[in-house]
Structure 1
Amino acid sequence: MGVRETLGVYLRGIAMGAADAVPGVSGGTIALLTGIYPRLIGAVTAVEPDRVLSVLGTPFPDRRSEGIAAFREMDGLFLAALGLGIASAVVTVSRVLEHAMEAYPAATFGGFFGLIGASAWLLRGQMRLDTRGRWAAGIAGFGVAFLLSGQAEGALGHALPVTFLAGAIAVTAMILPGVSGSLLLLLLGQYEYMVTQLRKFVDGLLALVSGNTTGLPAETATIVTFLAGGVFGLFTVSHAVKWALDRRRAETMTFLVALVVGALRAPVVQAGSELPAGWTNSSIVVFLVTGGVGAALVLAVERVAGRDALE
């Protein structure tokens, strides 16, 4: 890619990262909107474990040329530029959201509720309930999301294996227009935790670079583990999801849409736990108003992108 094309991919990554940082907004939809979705899917699914192992097993003198060939096959420069843009936006947006969740929980989680609800509404056409198997998929998706919402954090905690799992699952949202990686983190009870850890990690790096401290930030292990989970997810979970979409699209989409519907419980539970005085008439009004704003935002994006963006 030339410099101009690389910059364009980076800017698209920023747009995707800003969307992915917010539960209910899909980075995959932004990829469709900006015209890079087919290339993204091709690049992600080209990352094959066998290819990587083949390169690693090549004798050293030939490994460089094999590695360059594999990098090109996987559209590595495209993924690198896109990933850098996504990371830049996530770091920036997550800092704003962390403050918003602490200072304005009703408004923030109300906005999340609207974003998730509107996404579910737009995806409703992908749900099929015309066979027992599809009914089972829908019930399973809704049940999993509803039970996890508000319960997963206490059940799973924040140990490194959980962080690894969260990274592996969240990365699959890149190939699922309409389903947000942050939404999956919210369901797993890891969203607020990872936002806080990321902010502390970035602050620690800045302090290290400026000479105000020595040694890596304490959050390094968490961030590295999450990223490792994401890489693992690219090799495994994303391929499994693509396989399911290719062979059982109706059942898979029914499960995913039901998952989004069930996830509507998550921001309600999270807001209630963050409100000092619990739910009051004023906090309910704020929640509903910002929910309307969030829904309007998703509907506006869908109107610009066209319905094909969520299909």
Structure 2
Amino acid sequence: MGYLIDFLKGIIIGIANIIPGVSGGTMAVSLDIYDRLISSISHLFKNWKDSLKTLVPILIGAVVGIVAFTYTIEFLLSSYTLPTALAFIGLILGGIPGLWKSFQNGLKKQKQTLSISHIIAFVLMFALVVIILPLLQGSGTSLTAIQLDPLSLIKLFIIGIIASATMVIPGVSGSLILMVLGYYYLIINTITIFISALRTGDMESLLPNFILLFVFGLGVLIGIFLISKAIEFLFEHYSSVTYSGILGLVIASPFAILYNTNALNDLQTSHALPFALVGLVLLILCYYGIYQLGKNEAS
């Protein structure tokens, strides 16, 4: 049963990682598997058996979530933007009570009280998501394909490392960073082409897109391993300040979702009222579901 639950949680993390403004790391925190996930990654070579028992079901679930919901998320965000955005805001908000408890535990562990360093960490990370990333965000959406040449593959590998580093940090959206770097729609397009080629047996499209995804995925795996070491160090030595910064990132995420999906534009359409009502119901249900998941995991 534990493997099945981790698999289902992996699916949610995978879905979160393909939505700009939604953080896979935040979902891991909300689902209360973040610490276990980071520890397994950073100790992969030292305790590989135990690490793989934790990582395999989560990673398989994440891949299933990414592959299965790429088309679905594109459809939902284009046709039902506001309800979809509010549902994911509910998922994020549902993890805040557990995150606040972790912050308080960090204070107790280090025998500290709320200080200016905690406030600075919170404000800086909040500003990163709400102010800095939107200012840096470029277009980069007109490109539809990645060239299969050595320079493009090297760039794609580096992009994978950068994106994965942000995927591991709660509150920072890897997809949002990809959008800032101008690679989000390129990666989504590559995934959809690969899936279509796999379904139809189109080898001419299958092989080059597999190579692109393999190079990107390799960068992602290396980036996750490297950043996990840094995150584990921060939690070990500066847990309360780290959690304070994460709280800033997480609380800012709903603003990033509404901004990057243009969800509020639905309020100016003829279906504003039903979309808003359905969205609020989904927000409450998703909040409750994630809150209960985190609560049960902690008990």
Which residue does the alignment assign to 1:201? 194
Is the aligned partner of 1:268 residue 2:258?
A: yes
Is the aligned partner of 1:16 residue 2:34?
A: no
Larger Rg: 1
Which residue does the alignment assign to 1:90? 66
- CA gap of 1:81–1:300, structure 2 versus 1, over 3 A, is closer
Alignment of 1:1-311 (within 5 A): 9=3, 11-20=4-13, 21-22=15-16, 23=22, 26-30=27-31, 32=33, 40-48=37-45, 71-72=48-49, 75-76=51-52, 79-120=55-96, 122-127=98-103, 130-154=114-138, 160=156, 161-170=158-167, 172=168, 179=170, 184-190=173-179, 193=185, 194-207=187-200, 210=201, 212-216=202-206, 218-272=208-262, 275=265, 279-280=268-269, 282-283=271-272, 286-287=275-276, 289-306=278-295, 309=298
Aligned length: 266
After superposition, the CA RMSD in angstroms is 3.7
- Structure 2 counterpart SS, 1:47: coil
TM-score between the two structures when normalised by the length of structure 2: 0.71
Which residue does the alignment assign to 1:58? none
Contact 1:166 1:226 in 2 (8 A): no
**Aligned equivalents of 1:31, 1:119: Cα separation in 2:** 8
- Which residues of structure 1 form unaligned runs of 5+? 52-69, 174-178
- Which residues of structure 2 form unaligned runs of 5+? 17-21, 105-112, 144-154
- CA gap of 1:296–1:278, structure 2 versus 1, over 3 A, is closer
Contact 2:32 2:294 in 1 (8 A): no
Shift of 1:133: 1.1
- Structure 2 counterpart SS, 1:26: helix
- CA gap of 1:262–1:78, structure 2 versus 1, over 3 A, is closer
- CA gap of 1:195–1:14, structure 2 versus 1, over 3 A, is farther
